[in-house]
Amino acid sequence: MAAVNRISTSSSMRSLERSFDILSILRRSRVPMRLTDIALESGIHLATTQRILSVLLQYGYVSQERYGYTIGVTSVINGFAFHVTNSLSQISLSILQELAGASGFMSSLSIRVDFAQVKILRVEGNAPVRYLLPLGEPTPLYLGGAKIHTAALTPEEVTELMVDVPEIRLASGQVVTRQEFVESLQVIREQGYAYSNSERELGAASVAVPVVSQEGAVVASLQVSGPTEDLNESKAEWCVVELKRASTAITKRLP
């Protein structure tokens, strides 16, 4: 009987893993996906893929449209639940509002998920921003304020991050080699902040600092963003002071 239970548990866990695989595929896709394409990309048998999608449909994790399957509305509900229950999000909101008011720039908070950065909070400032990165969208760790997270990685993790990135091409057209990128991380560690100009979007600038836990580990990046003509290097120096003050306030309130 125990052997049967182990087999049943193993089978259930495998089904759960496959469900997460399918959700990850749909999350990355920018368009509805057909059943056959999902099965092909996941490597899961077509009939099994359809059974899993049926269950995900039932619970709202997946939606079915005319041209295929997409992520369902339950993800939005989960996102709301994250914001109202996550301690980092709750603690940071009022601090971001104060930071945006004091600086006049859009203020945001992002966390690292594997080798990507995800923005979880944003408060608009007075200065118009040419490009608004959507909340929840994963972005590379080698551009903009996300480099705060990269600077906290081990050398082995940085190597793994860059294994498929022979060079970094910025929005300005500038090309950054791997060696130059690694050297820039050391500068960020020494300065305690990252300033970027036209890296992700032409004409957009940002300054970011780390938010650390009570134990000193980097748990998030705190950032202000605005047009390059407003957020120049001189203005950025003033923002760094405000950002570090805000970061310290968040750290003090973390459990």
For 15-78, give the DSSP string: HHHHHHHHHHHHHH-SS-B-HHHHHHHHT--HHHHHHHHHHHHHTTSEEEETTEEEE-THHHHH
The CATH H-level superfamily of 86-253 is: GAF domain (3.30.450.40)
Q: What's the pTM?
A: 0.83
**How far from the centroid of its chain's Cα atoms is residue 108's Cα?**
11
The confidence score (pLDDT) of residue 4 equals 43
Domains 2-76 and 86-253 share a fold: no
The confidence score (pLDDT) of residue 128 equals 66
User: 69 is written with which tokens?
Assistant: 């399957």
Specify the DSSP element, H or E, that contains 163: none
Decide: helix, strand or coil at residue 115.
Answer: coil
User: What CATH number is given for 2-76 in this structure?
Assistant: 1.10.10.10
Domain spans of the chain, in order of start:
2-76, 86-253
Query: 224 and 238 in contact (C-beta within 8 Å)?
Result: no
Alpha carbon distance 213, 118 (integer Å):
18
The confidence score (pLDDT) of residue 165 equals 85
Please list the pLDDT of the chain residue by residue as tens digits (255 residues).
544 454 455 777 888 899 999 999 999 898 999 999 999 999 999 999 999 999 999 999 999 998 999 999 999 999 889 888 999 999 999 999 999 999 999 999 999 999 999 999 999 988 666 666 778 889 999 999 999 999 999 999 999 999 888 789 999 999 999 999 999 999 999 999 999 999 989 999 999 999 999 999 999 999 999 999 999 988 999 999 999 999 999 999 998
Give me the phi and psi of 46, to 5 degrees please.
Answer: -55, -45
Alpha carbon distance 250, 89 (integer Å):
10
Alpha carbon distance 183, 178 (integer Å):
9
The confidence score (pLDDT) of residue 97 equals 96
The confidence score (pLDDT) of residue 195 equals 96
Whose CA is closest to 203, among 172, 239, 173, 237?
A: 172
Query: 136 and 119 in contact (C-beta within 8 Å)?
Result: yes
CA atoms within 13 A on the CB side of 220: 27
The confidence score (pLDDT) of residue 30 equals 86
